[in-house]
Structure 1
Amino acid sequence: MSLQTIKYRILSLPLPTKIILTGSFLTFIGMFLPVYSDVSQWGKGVVYFGITGPLSLIGIAVIFFSGLPLLSYFAGIFRLNFRKYLWSLEKSAQISALENILLLTIMSSVFLNSDFGVNLTVKELRIGIILGFTGVIGNFVGYYLSKKINNHSPYVIPTENLDDNQEEPADASFIKLPNHVQDRIHKVLNDVEEKNPYSIPKKQIIDRSSESALSSNNYNLRMDL
């Protein structure tokens, strides 16, 4: 798969998916940046990264959970064989957000506790922990928006609705059809119903790479009919 194709797929992603991926990336990269620092009464300062210091195990756990949504997405993009064993992007975002909000809260509360460290006069949270919490909030928002779209829009194709012999979309756990595409579907379906030359099968998958098919939960429209 070319870089241009990957770039196109990322740019064409639904907003909730973009928010989830961005949030996961921010949390992931935040653990490789300074997360907190302290200064002793002798004026000696120390800066800790998410993967260093006494709280490094928590930082490593945050990296693991924040990588789950990224792994789910890119495993589908590159058609990796183990992708069928992974959670959907939506489910991964939910688990990642719940675990990381707990881990980051523990990391912050332990560091800011007065019993943590000896002879320290200054304690500061740094950019890494801020990016971590920002990414977690992004995961919660993306998950909420994706569930809202899935539950209320008739023009969303959840992957769990696919038959066993159908291929899962690589770029999202759901695909929302744009408004102008919805209008075209209605127009063509009305024409088909009037002429009745075709039978329209249900629950067919969108082929976004070739744009040879357009689907919803109730209808399927193929360009080659």
Structure 2
Amino acid sequence: MSKFLKQFKKYDDCTPPGVQLPQIKIKQQHYDDLSIPNTTSNCDFLEKLCLRGIKHLGISQLENKKEYFVRAKMELEILAELGFVDYILLNWDILDFCNVNSIPTGPGRGSAAGSLVLYLIGVTKIDPIKYDLFFERFVSKSRAKKIEKDGITYLDGSLLADIDNDISYEHRQGVISYIESKYPGRTAKILTLNTLSSKLCIRECGKIVGGHSETDINAITALIPKTF
């Protein structure tokens, strides 16, 4: 058996050490919309999107406008340093497709709502400064971990920023088709599968059906062996 396993020794290090974030190619139309050359870096492009958002949202007229500019600068620097710019633009592109095609989207939820950059570029609709939300819950330099291998930068997948986008169910397939057409062979569907133990099923049903007290529910679940 050991001789057989030795044949695969050369493949021990073939698994990527982390997640390689995508590199986004921006359409010429978007450069034209911002009146900038198509040689503009993605970091600078994202900054221009933020500046457009500041103007569109009337932030320049606010008394605390300086707070917005300082926060936006800080977020942009961290996103660039950690290599998240293209990931942000990927989400922006999807939401932009939805907006152009009048597809309803949610206001944003989870830690992503704490990003001013996402608010300025239209990925979320929640002002994190107005509601005192923390960017560090979304992205934190102390949590992000870079891994360099063969000249390629990877990130620890368990520490990546997560953006939850809620999209109208009726138009969901259209959005999926757009993503698949733009990134052929590089998309996948994932799901979360939840299971309930027998004890937990009884508890959940007891909360909804019959109005039973917690004492009664506990008495019933105590009769069910732990193995179930």
Q: TM-score, normalised by structure 2?
A: 0.22
Q: TM-score, normalised by structure 1?
A: 0.22
Larger relative contact order (Cα-Cα within 8 Å, sequence gap ≥ 6): 1
Higher relative strand content = 1
